[in-house]
Homo-oligomer: A and B are copies of this chain.
């Protein structure tokens, strides 16, 4: 075995791999390693660390193992642990005044597995998917691995533009094509922080219903709100919406636990295609205990306060240190502020200069669906979720210094 480099390596494997693997190559994602430098990072959509609910999870684990001694450690089937499916269905009545039944629910390894299972179930190579742009790069990666064509759908100040969807549908129809679904994040969007209004949601659903176009509603941030958002597309729709959710942002990313709501026949097909024999019953029963004890609701209320205070601190610092060079709209929730760069500042230049000042921000262009998406204005994404509140001012001070340095050098050059 020690000699495996001798024969089985990238060179010998390459001719053997699947089309999906050929597209994706061999790059593992190492998550966010603790950075050795004394950096301030506004880079990743990672939750606040001090509020991670270790004690709540430990208590819930104890209850899950004692109350359901045998059940928590046994197979739960491909739809996922029934205790959690039931708890989530009941919870949606409380949190959304909207009835979901357990047959609408499949438990997944985070929202990411939900999206992957939807792709497994609906996509063949050559299919077309509409994707609002800019968007979450993880989903772009997943979609691309299926060898599908992605049509970027532009957003305006509020979110996905209906006219852009209509134009895309018309153009596709001329080619005899029909997209498999529209992917969007209507609430506290990643990266833009935008939230679609109730009015626009209804119009979107009418449009998609007319065209029998399924919507894949990715909703990881919906419950992290500072002003209560409109109801989800799923709850407003007549059944043409698949809604993907996760415990990552409201409990912990390290659980890798989420759920998807969809028409029961689609849920069954997703369950039939997953090869992992279902999600962890142990994790599922822990999450069900968190829901049933009401500890989850209290925790989420607490998180809203934490992230709202971080955002306020961020906005104060932006006013103070970057005010004249940038423009933004306060997001109504979520983890991200989408910062428009003014006066010829480019995202590329700001990200590089900020890095030299030991502060990390996201290059807005990395969130485009295709490299050629029109991007008339330049943006950076500032994730305010992870950075300790007491470091926000210093981080934005450094960012402001970076911007001033770029402009000063530009001034010299011209």
Q: Is the CB of A1 within 8 A of B272?
A: no
Residues of B within 8 A of A76 (CB): 31, 254
Residue A323 CB within 8 A of the other chain: no
Residues of B within 8 A of A13 (CB): 263, 265-266, 269
Residues of B within 8 A of A149 (CB): none
Interchain nearest-CB distance for A41 vs B (Å): 13
Q: Assuming the A-B contacts A10-B265, A58-B65, A263-B9, are A271 and B77 also in contact, with contact meaning beta carbons closer than 8 angstroms in the complex? A: no
Residue A277 CB within 8 A of the other chain: yes
Contact with B along A45-66 (1 / 0, CB 8 A): 0110100111001100110011
Among A22-30, A296-304, A374-382, A391-399, which stretch is in contact with chain B? Answer: A22-30
Among A112-120, A308-316, A335-343, which stretch is in contact with chain B? Answer: A112-120
Q: How many copies does the complex hold?
A: 2
Residue A78 CB within 8 A of the other chain: yes
A239 to B271, CA, bound (A): 34
Residues of B within 8 A of A279 (CB): 109, 256
In-complex Cβ contact of A268 among B18, B26, B32, B269 (8 A): B26
In-complex Cβ contact of A255 among B73, B265, B268 (8 A): B73
Q: Assuming the A-B contacts A17-B269, A21-B272, are A74 and B57 also in contact, with contact meaning beta carbons closer than 8 angstroms in the complex? A: no
7 contacts between A and B (CB under 8 A): A1-B235, A1-B237, A17-B122, A26-B265, A46-B74, A109-B280, A110-B277
